[in-house]
Chain A
Amino acid sequence: MPKKVGKSVLAITVFVAVVTVLWYAQLRAARSAKTADNQGIEGRPAYKAQMDLADPGNSYSYNYELMARVISAEAKGEPYIGQVAVGAVILNRLNHPHFPNTIPGVIFEPDAFTAVTTGHVWLPPVSSSYRAAQDALAGWDPTGGAIYYYNPAKATNWWVATRTFIVQIGKHLFLR
């Protein structure tokens, strides 16, 4: 075998080995990060449950931390009112017969929220999302009773586009 070929074989081999090691290390890191995330959530004493008594005739138990996480992951680049709107959609679903009747049920319904499917929901939430969740619970609904929304610029779920349009807030279209 000519010398040149031997050299390139060596180079390719070293390259493959380095890439393999890096890839494997990254996979392991990702996996341990994921585990740490889950432990963080389980380790918390309990979700801060509150009741929505904005309407004195009704009360709903809910999971405020989860709501804030979804709001953050789905709408952190949106105007503040758009963050409240995402919180309002979660609460509107809670009271709708076609959706589960608990906050975790609504949020973890398969493929209901992109951020849950992709795992972005487990990133640290932005602080404004907690206030937005509270505002939605206190009774503000800028969506006019929407149960769906999507961003036409980067939607992966076009099925919702067949629903009745209500209003646009920031980049999100809200529908029922």
Chain B
Amino acid sequence: MKQRWGWTALIAALVILGLVGAREYSLRREAELRTENQYQRAFQEVVYHVDCLAEELAKASVAGSYPMVQKAFADAWRHTESARAGLGQLPIGTVELSTTEDFLSQVASFTYTLSQRGVSGGAMSDKEWTILRDLREQASFAARELTRLGDSIASGRLRWIDVQRDSMAASAMRPDSGTTQSVPSNQVTKGLKMLEDGMTRFPTPDFEGVIPPPRRKLPDIPGPEISEDDAVRIAMEFLGFSLQEGAKGEVIARISSEPESYRVEITPARGRSPAAWADISVRGGKVLWTFRDTPVGAETITPDMAVNVAREFLASHGFENMRLISRRDYQGVAAIGFAYEQDGVVIYPDYVVVRVSLAGGDIDGFEGTNYQIFHRARPLEAPVISEAEAREGLNPRLEVTDSRLAVILDDFYQEKLVYEFRCTLDKDTYLVYINAETGEEEEVKKAEIRGLELV
């Protein structure tokens, strides 16, 4: 009797196990298919948008009337951004695609700039025409390669899930282990490599002055190279630590960033505030930034008081004529922005941020990389147009509450003298920048953006 019970229970358990297993298998298959379909969609969209991009660039070259050219550029820009977004959704992190990615980013910048040119730009210059022709050829090539890859994926047995697995296997290989195993390759990685290799064979168009550079190159700070001891001394002096009180400073790294810097770590005397860090430029010995972990505690000062603390800190550390430009309070900290003011003109490129702990009112951080690199006494030209003339360029529906002269950086990192108008529309405040030379509207900014306030 007992034996029969035993067998029945065993068979029942096996049946349950089998059912559970079957269910798990089908769920897993379903999840994999969903992922696979997402990848398929992302890839097919990349193919589609690059194909459309090539077509729109061709249209822009052929069209004669300005609105048609502008529409073609605007559409090309939209397709480029969509292609980039799709590329970012594919499991191809270990495939080298930097030339292709650079290409897409340059096309986006070029087509956007030309679509925004408006009436003032007029016809394309010879240089822009040459760039357009080069980009068009490159886009057609990319579209052809991607279409071919898409066809081979559609007809083949390759799944993106497998590409994902190969990609993870490739990234798990230690480059320093000297193994002979080769990076897993499949139709997709091969196809993308052919695309990338082909893209590198095209000449890089000369974009100088045509499209804004993607980021500002930070020059080195002039001056002699300082020693590590100097760096420690400068950092401790700036942060108000003293050797006599038992604080220790040490250079923990020499960092090859822009500009090159020493990282100083300061350990205060036992039982005092937490450790602090500072980056001091190797040349010139300027304090680029400092940082200290804020102790969490009850707030003892208000954000308004923090502004005064920051102001006093700057004044006592050799930053003169600094004007409050922005405020942001978060998690017991106030980050307060200041810009240099020269003859009543706010120089926005020369800005610093001071971080004040609201629990105790200590200076917990300073960010002044831009100021330390770019600050100088500038020869300021007198504005060509008067403030009243500039005001005429504003939207008449705005109510102007304040105005001043300022220097801002444009997309090409060129400094421009502008009138800054503080205006209100309905309940919101905006800053509108009118070029003080040409009267053109340079920029419109919202003065309060969830937490950050521009003053």
- Chain A residues engaging chain B, CB cutoff 8 angstroms: 1, 3, 6-7, 9-10, 12-14, 16-17, 20, 23-24, 27, 48-51, 53-57, 59, 79-81, 84, 95-102, 105-106, 108-112, 127, 130-131, 134-135, 138-142, 144-145, 156-162, 166-168
Contact = CB atoms under 8 A, between A and B. Distances in A.
Interface residues of B, number: 84
Contact of A1 (B3, B261, B335): B3
A54 B327 CA distance: 10
A55 B370 contact: yes
Contact of B102 (A13, A97, A138): A97
Given A110-B90, A112-B93, A142-B291, A12 B10 contact: yes
Contact of A138 (B7, B17, B85, B328): B328
A170 to B, nearest CB: 11
B3 A145 contact: no
Interface of B: 2-3, 5-7, 9-10, 12-14, 16-17, 20, 24, 81, 84-85, 88-94, 97-98, 101-102, 104-106, 164, 167-168, 170-176, 214-215, 253, 255-258, 261, 263, 277, 279, 289, 291, 293-294, 325-326, 328, 330-333, 335, 337, 339, 348-349, 351, 353, 355, 365, 367, 370, 408-410, 445-446, 449-452, 454
18 contacts: A3-B2, A7-B6, A13-B6, A17-B12, A24-B20, A53-B454, A54-B353, A56-B326, A56-B337, A97-B101, A106-B88, A109-B93, A110-B164, A131-B331, A134-B330, A134-B331, A138-B353, A167-B255
Contacts of B328: 134, 138
Contact of A56 (B5, B17, B348): B348
Contacts of A16: 10, 13-14, 17
Contacts of A55: 351, 370
A167 B263 contact: yes
Nearest to A106: B88
A82 B294 CA distance: 14
A140 B367 contact: yes
A-B pairs, top 4 by smallest CB distance, nearest first, are A144-B257, A97-B105, A100-B88, A131-B331
A98 B13 contact: no
The secondary-structure label for the interface of chain B is mixed
Contacts of B173: 158-159
Contact of A162 (B5, B175, B294): B175
B13 A51 contact: no
Contacts of A162: 175
A160 B261 CA distance: 23
B175 A144 contact: no
Contact of A110 (B93, B105, B175, B332): B93
B85 A105 contact: yes
Nearest to A101: B84
A20 B16 contact: yes
Contacts of A160: 171
A17 B101 contact: no
Identify which of A81, A138, A168 gathers the most chain B CB atoms within 10 Å of its CB: A138
Contact of B326 (A53, A112, A142, A158): A53
Contact of B367 (A10, A130, A139, A156): A139
Contact of B6 (A6, A105, A111, A156): A6
A81 B293 contact: yes
A80 B233 CA distance: 24
B298 to A, nearest CB: 15
Given A6-B2, A97-B101, A159-B93, 14 more contacts: A12-B10, A17-B9, A17-B13, A20-B20, A54-B335, A95-B214, A95-B215, A100-B88, A131-B333, A134-B330, A134-B331, A138-B355, A158-B174, A161-B176
Contacts of B94: 159
A119 to B, nearest CB: 13
B246 to A, nearest CB: 21
Contacts of A1: 3
Contacts of B215: 95
Nearest to B368: A139
A51 B175 contact: no
A79 B12 CA distance: 54
B408 A166 contact: no
Contacts of A48: 450
A167 B263 CA distance: 9
B174 A161 contact: yes
Nearest to A161: B175
Contacts of A166: 255-257
Contacts of A156: 168, 171-172
Contacts of A168: 253
B225 to A, nearest CB: 18
Contacts of B17: 16, 20
B365 A131 contact: no
Contacts of A130: 330-331
